[in-house]
Amino acid sequence: MSRFLFGQRLAMKITSRHLREGYNGLFKSQLLTTNLIKHKNQIQTGIPNITNVALDAVPTTGNLTLRYDAVVRQDLSGLYGDIRKCLSETQATLVPITQYYFDGEGKAIRPVITMCLAKAINYHLNVTSPYAFCLFCFHLIIYVIDYITICSFNKIRSVVEKQKKVAQIVEMIHTASLVHDDVIDAADSRRNKSSVNMVWGQKKSVVAGDFIVGRSLELSAKIQNQEVINLIAKIVSDLVSGELMQLDGSANAEERFQHYMEKTFKKTASLIANGCQAVSVLAGANSTVQTVAFQFGRQLGMTFQLVDDMLDFVSTSAQLGKPAAADLRLGLATAPVLFAAQKFPELNQLILRRFNKPGDVETAFDLVHRSDGLEKTKELAGQYCDDAVTQLAQLSPSPYQQVLFTLTHELLDRLK
């Protein structure tokens, strides 16, 4: 009996400081769940088509506007601060260069996806948040609580903290790739401000990108999970391979589209796919759930790039944060161009010489708009979106799952 009472007092002491925050978190979660109830049938009765996941799934309740990232905002609130701190431990001249793109102005969409998917899988596997767990323990405390409760709490908190670290690593590797891309492309702007290479020059920018990658690999080692380390290393390997594929223009007309799709996976989708699988590994998921996580990230990542490739032809420079038709000016043949070449074979010669003659960019731009290349690109992006939803629907219904449904829909909706 004395051990039982001791367990009660110990658990009460540990949980008391979290109760207010736990109730607040639960209350917000209940608000979200209540407002998403009208979409319950979409989740539970089958796989919702992406065009049927309504935008009003992002509800407003009283003064609380629940954006799609609201359910993981607490987890990511210190994201950029943590990254800047991580990058400050180096030579003083390198610090402002490495921190330049981590100014909090980015959408942080990849960390949001990673953490939403992590929480959806945790929910699927009954790994809840530390605060919800504390609240649960409080209600059971009058029955059975001992030191196992403390161990369980710490284990769950550890899982979520490690998943947050993966989200941070994903953002760091992505941003490092932007630094290197800007050097390779000799870009003069990024996110409506001067690019890092324009401010500090190419040599220092290359070193800064390398340092960001190095620090991200250090962080992955601290997670102390060999499978996660391997997945992070695969992201870096794929990024390098994808960049080399993009620089290689030797593919013939028959191989060109497959070459483009493989390059797109390695440069864009691998980051999201392997990041999503990494958080599922940390949650203790089996191979089936890990495959769901990877395939969801892959399909969503492919959609990302297809949408961006299409927006390069239909959006203004202000909307893109970079010059319109930038890919053509860099000599890149993306999906709209490759589809257009099926109707206008003369594009193949322009593709081979990477649009380097006067008037090539303008000609290609015109032929794309005269063809069905944009429509076919949008259709392909829609197929990948539907595939992403198919994967996501295999997880248990949760607010996090619904947020990812909505986010996926909003991604495709950018093309409207």
Listed by start position, the domains of the chain span 2-412
Element (H, E) at 193: strand 193-194
Give Cα separations from 330 to 200, 352, 355, 364 (angstroms): 22, 13, 8, 13
pLDDT attached to residue 58: 35
Give the separation between CA 165 and CA 317, rounded to whole angstroms.
33
- Per residue in 229-282, pLDDT (tens digit) is 999 999 999 999 999 999 987 788 889 999 999 999 999 999 999 999 999 999
pLDDT attached to residue 276: 98
Q: 47 or 274, which is more confident?
A: 274
Cβ neighbors of 191 (< 8 A, separation 6 or more) are 101, 105, 106, 321
- Per residue in 362-372, pLDDT (tens digit) is 999 999 999 99
Cβ neighbors of 332 (< 8 A, separation 6 or more) are 246, 354
User: Residue 225: helix, strand or coil by DSSP?
Assistant: coil
pLDDT attached to residue 184: 94
Is domain 2-412 classified as CATH 1.10.600.10?
yes
Span 407-414, average pLDDT: 86
pTM attached to this predicted model: 0.79
Give the separation between CA 14 and CA 90, rounded to whole angstroms.
38
- Per residue in 212-233, pLDDT (tens digit) is 999 999 999 999 999 999 999 9
**Residue type for position 369:** H
Average pLDDT over all residues of the chain: 81
Span 303-326, average pLDDT: 78
pLDDT attached to residue 17: 40
User: Residue 189: helix, strand or coil by DSSP?
Assistant: strand
Q: Is the pLDDT of residue 61 over 80?
A: no
Span 175-183, average pLDDT: 96
Question: pLDDT-based confidence at 322, cuts 50/70/90?
Answer: low
Give the separation between CA 194 and CA 40, rounded to whole angstroms.
45
